[in-house]
Chains A and B, each alone.
Chain A
């Protein structure tokens, strides 16, 4: 097993081989992980949130859904979670969201300087030769933006508490890029640390049996390793 604690308000990127499982565990209340996913073996293939949602008839991310790519692959299966709603509609925070909480600089705040998810994600993307063109709709683990019948969106405060978790099984080799900056609709700056652990994954029958669409995406990923 290998693991890393990502402080609140920080960004990180890492590669995971197919067949491994990532466990995200919140270490404080009100955590958020804005997550971008790329197929590591392909120059442009990445998470496609609309395809993920429409193929599985969902406006949220929950187990045992499959996270799908532009290329029609299952990138990862959501094998389990203590929460049944992870946001996929809210995008990630930009500097405009962060400056609502007042000015912040390294000179003044040292490593508590407030940086947006966008700034952190771009820093990590650039380490992998990627840039603004590679940004895409993120999944926001541990956050919820509730829907009303007329399409209204409202952020749910306190959706997650310390100890909440989600597990993702990599279905192809992945590059993951994540930020632990608060959700863009959060009304306070409340960065919370998140532990990421990578282990060998158990078989993933739940996603395979969830829907025909989920099974077909997993079958496309299996072909990559045929």
Chain B
């Protein structure tokens, strides 16, 4: 894994928030500002979406991002592209080495499909996205394939996809620079049924700095 932690200079710290599992986070990060997500206890999954703050339909696009960079995993240097192929943010530091953007977010409905009807009323990321996103005008039409920071979803040359133990560890973090004014929407994943968060969802910390 290419692990790097060369930090760019930060501006003024404007937000420093611990987000418990099962809760969400919504903030606007101005162009040139920084966002850091810390996996406080390790092996957590932070399901994250980005939007152009001035045009919500110009939103993070996982498929455009992986195609243009011809790389399915995200790490330092990855540009997060929008549906209009604008760079919304760049990953500037990553102590984990790779993050998933193909596996999507859990939902009540996908929990039924993956684990059975008895899991329908467990908490899930899609509901967190809808609850926290509403204040920014983000509804079901605005939810598409997200980034799963700290999550390990290996893809194989045979075309397989698996969920594996996380590569993350306590205190691991990822840092991004906003390349335009962006809205950040996070669900700290409450999934109990697979190893994406070590069977034990835990808090994350989110920090936002203004432009340096």
A53 to B103 alpha-carbon distance, docked (Å):
7
Interface size on B, residues (CB 8 A): 48
| Binary contact readout A162-193 vs B (1 if CB under 8 angstroms, 0 otherwise) | 00000000000000000000001100000000
| Binary contact readout B106-143 vs A (1 if CB under 8 angstroms, 0 otherwise) | 01111011101100000000100000000000011111
Contact B116 A147 (CB under 8 A): no
| Binary contact readout B153-169 vs A (1 if CB under 8 angstroms, 0 otherwise) | 10111011111000000
Does residue A209 face the partner (Cβ distance < 8 Å to B)? no
User: With A50-B103, A51-B104, A133-B141 in contact, is A146–B71 under 8 Å at CB?
Assistant: no
Contact A51 B113 (CB under 8 A): yes
Contact A72 B66 (CB under 8 A): no
| Binary contact readout B79-111 vs A (1 if CB under 8 angstroms, 0 otherwise) | 000011100000000000010001111011110
Stretch among B10-18, B38-46, B56-64, B174-182 lining the A interface: B56-64
User: With A55-B113, A57-B160, A59-B102 in contact, is A90–B67 under 8 Å at CB?
Assistant: yes
Contact B110 A57 (CB under 8 A): no
Contact A217 B113 (CB under 8 A): yes
A184 to B58 alpha-carbon distance, docked (Å):
19
User: With A44-B141, A51-B104, A136-B144 in contact, is A72–B161 under 8 Å at CB?
Assistant: no
**What chain B residues lie within 8 Å of A31 (beta carbons)?**
none
Contact A44 B140 (CB under 8 A): yes
A-B contact count (CB 8 A): 135
> Most chain-B Cβ atoms within 10 A of its Cβ — which of A50, A51, A59, A94?
A50
User: With A137-B144, A213-B113 in contact, is A60–B67 under 8 Å at CB?
Assistant: no
Considering only CB atoms, which chain A residue lies closest to B55 in the complex?
A132
The one of B67, B139, B143, B144 in contact with A185, judged by C-beta atoms closer than 8 angstroms, is B67
User: With A137-B145, A148-B157 in contact, is A55–B70 under 8 Å at CB?
Assistant: no
**What chain B residues lie within 8 Å of A146 (beta carbons)?**
157
A220 to B145 alpha-carbon distance, docked (Å):
22
Contact A147 B156 (CB under 8 A): yes
| Binary contact readout A138-157 vs B (1 if CB under 8 angstroms, 0 otherwise) | 10000001111111111000
A135 to B19 alpha-carbon distance, docked (Å):
30
Residues of chain A from 109 to 139 with CB closer than 8 A to chain B in the complex: 131-138
Instruction: Tell me the smallest distance from the CB of A145 to a CB of chain B, in Å.
Output: 7
Contact B67 A220 (CB under 8 A): no
Does residue B192 face the partner (Cβ distance < 8 Å to A)? no
Top 5 A-B residue pairs of the complex, sorted by shortest distance between their CB atoms? A50-B104, A72-B109, A91-B63, A60-B159, A151-B73
26 contacts between A and B (CB under 8 A): A44-B140, A44-B141, A49-B104, A50-B62, A50-B103, A53-B103, A54-B110, A54-B114, A55-B110, A55-B113, A59-B161, A72-B109, A72-B112, A89-B72, A91-B63, A131-B57, A133-B56, A133-B142, A135-B83, A137-B62, A137-B63, A137-B145, A149-B156, A149-B157, A185-B70, A216-B116
Q: Which residues of A contact B (CB under 8 A)?
A: 44, 48-51, 53-55, 57-60, 62, 68, 70-72, 85, 89-91, 94, 96, 131-138, 145-154, 184-185, 213, 216-217, 220
A-B contact sample (18 more), CB < 8 A, given A44-B140, A50-B62:
A49-B63, A49-B104, A51-B107, A54-B114, A57-B160, A59-B156, A70-B109, A72-B108, A89-B67, A135-B144, A147-B72, A147-B156, A148-B157, A150-B73, A153-B67, A154-B70, A185-B70, A217-B113
